[in-house]
Every structure is written in C-alpha cells, then in structure tokens.
Amino acid sequence: MKIYIRSSSCISPQNTFGNEGFLTDIIEYTDTRLKAIEPDYKEFIDPKQIRRMSHVIKMGVAAAKDCLNKGNTEMPDAIITGTAFGCLEDTVTFLTRMVEQDEELLPPTAFIQSTHNTVAAQVALMLKCHGYNNTFVHKGISFESALFDAIMLLNEQDADNILVGGTEEMVDASFKVLTRLGLYKCQPVSNLQLYTEESRGTIGGEGAVFFLLTDKTSDNNLAQLTAIKTLYKPKNIEENIIAFLAENSLKISDIDLVVTGRNGDTRNDEVYKNFGNTLFRSSSLANYKHLCGEYSTSSSFALWLAANIIKKGIVPEVVIEKNINLTAPKRILIYNHYQNKYHSLMLISAI
C-alpha cells in the first residue's frame, strides 16, 4: 500500500509556519542555541487556555491544527507523536516546586502536563478526537517510531487520515546539562557557518512538525512516503543503506538528492563526510540542522523539507551542500543519526 503525505506544518527557528515562503527569508543566529519562532497562538488556541500551556504544548497544538487545515481535514482517525524529552518546561517547574515547597501543597497542573504524551492528548481534547492516540519515547528515533505506527495502521486499514508529529523543546536546564555533556558547542557560532566551523559540539534546537498521512491518492498530496528504516549502532551503515534501497528496487544513482543530518560536530559528521567521498560521491547533497538545530526529533524537520522540495520542485539554496545537475528532485533519501547511536533512513518520492 502506498502512503502519502497530504499536508504538513512546521514551527522551527526559521520562518516555516503558515503561508511563509519556502525558506526564502533565512534567519541567522550567532549563538549555541536556536529558539523556535512562535506564531500567534490565538488563531489556534483559546486565549484562556494559552496561559496554562507550556511552550512545547502550544507549538504542538498550533502545528497540528495548521496541518489539519492545510489538509482540509476536520477530524483525524488517529493522533501519533514522537518525543524524546517530552514537556521539559513543566517537568522542571514541578521538580523545582517539590524542592522549594518541601514536597507539600504542590499544584498538580505542572505534573499533569509534564508527561510525554501531553501534546497528543491536548490535540485530541481540543479536537474531541476519540480515536487511536499514542506517543513514542524512543530517544533519537522517536519520530520515526511514530511514523512506523501510522504506516501500520494505514496498512491494516484501521484509519484513513493520521496526524503524526515530532515535538521537542529546549529549556535552560536541559541546555546547560547537555552543554556540560559535550553535545553543544561552548563558543557562539553563526548557524550559517556551522559546517565550516571545525570543532566539537553542535547547536541546540527545538520545534514541532506535524504531517497528515493517508493512503488516498490526491493531486493535493505533497509527496509519497515510500519507505523508512531505523538502526541502532549499525556495524556497517553503508551496507544497510544499499540494502534499504535494494528493498525498494533502487540504487544510489536513482536518488536525486540525499539529505543528511550533519550538525557541525566533528565527531557526528565524520560518517557523512566519508559517505560524501564514497557512497554519495556522485549524489547531490543537502543539510538541514543549521536551520533548525540539533534535537532528538529533528528528522521531522528533514521530512518537512523533503516533502516540500518534492511538491514545489525547488531546492532552497541555503540547504545545498553539493549540487550535481540538481533540478526538480523526484526521489529524496534522508539519512540521519543521533549521537551515532540511532540511525534512520527515509525515502520520499513524487506522487
């Protein structure tokens, strides 16, 4: 069965939400952390509810509703999300109050909204959707796990339209901890010069991206989600990539564009650089993490990018690393890994 992306919506550190141009107005940051550009939430959420919602919940609800609007769908049959850290802002608030108030007279709101499934639950409550609702917390492949679940539901014909999203927020506490652990750079760097800055660490990011998946054909569909695969600490990723394409009757030469998860960390990018000189030496290459930053579900931004490239027939100049006769791509391979442990492959094709 063929799976299609009917619509998508993306809140990120760039102007990607709503009817903004497709990466035409790029924002440069000179920092080690990129913050999402938040829309006017009053268009999607009751103002009385907004003040009780944390950052990631507002982003997730707005992106989900905008995705449904773009797909001309009022009610999805299922809602599935992926997140590694969940609602960090509420988690930090609750834990801080536990310490400050000696574990007494604790208001329950922060605890209730600190769970990982809050975004999916909040979307369902606002839509009054009583269908299948699930959240995957699988570290660096949380979003891919959500996609797998949606694909299985569609293949089993248990749903026709499924809302799938990847959400993550960056708060001061988590940013400081991850910086001390060496994930992020210690010195500010321009995100547009991220790949020329040879140093350890990357830049932090956050965002919320939702997709409406369906098995129904339509001229309005953005692209086809042809295949997806996840790997944990693979011994030979090159063999896995070749095998993944072979399973779909393809070779590297059949791929018009390869989108990689380079993030500016010399340790992280070594595998991408090696492939650029070997497996992908004759392929057009693109990167995306200099626009959204590094976070566990950043592959959702890559899928949003690939789907829009396929639909619009345009590859934004800002994402191109290597251009080899690149015009309007019909097949795009996304290869991303998170901390060189969680690897994922996604194949996107024109409808």
pLDDT for res 196: 92
Closest CA relative to residue 11, chosen from 59, 44, 57, 58: 59
pLDDT for res 131: 96
Q: Model-level pTM?
A: 0.96
Instruction: Kindly report the number of other CB atoms within 10 A of residue 192's CB atom.
Output: 15
Ordered by where they begin, the domains of the chain are: 4-214 (3.40.47.10), 223-349 (3.40.47.10)
| DSSP conformation class of 294 | B
Q: How far is Cα 87 from Cα 21, in angstroms, rounded to an integer?
A: 29
Say if residues 295 and 206 touch (Cβ distance below 8 Å): yes
pLDDT for res 110: 77
Q: How far is Cα 164 from Cα 161, in angstroms, rounded to an integer?
A: 10
pLDDT for res 91: 86
**Mean pLDDT of successive 10-residue stretches along the chain, which has 351 residues:** 95 90 93 95 92 92 97 97 91 85 80 88 96 97 98 95 97 91 93 92 97 96 98 95 97 96 95 93 96 97 98 95 89 96 97 87
Q: How far is Cα 167 from Cα 64, in angstroms, rounded to an integer?
A: 11
Pairing relationship of beta strands 30-31 and 189-190 according to DSSP bridges: antiparallel
Q: How many Cα neighbours within 13 Å face the side chain of 313?
A: 3
Tokens of residue 222, six digits: 């953005």
Q: How far is CA 257 from CA 175, 280, 327, in A?
A: 32, 10, 10
Closest CA relative to residue 257, chosen from 344, 345, 322: 322
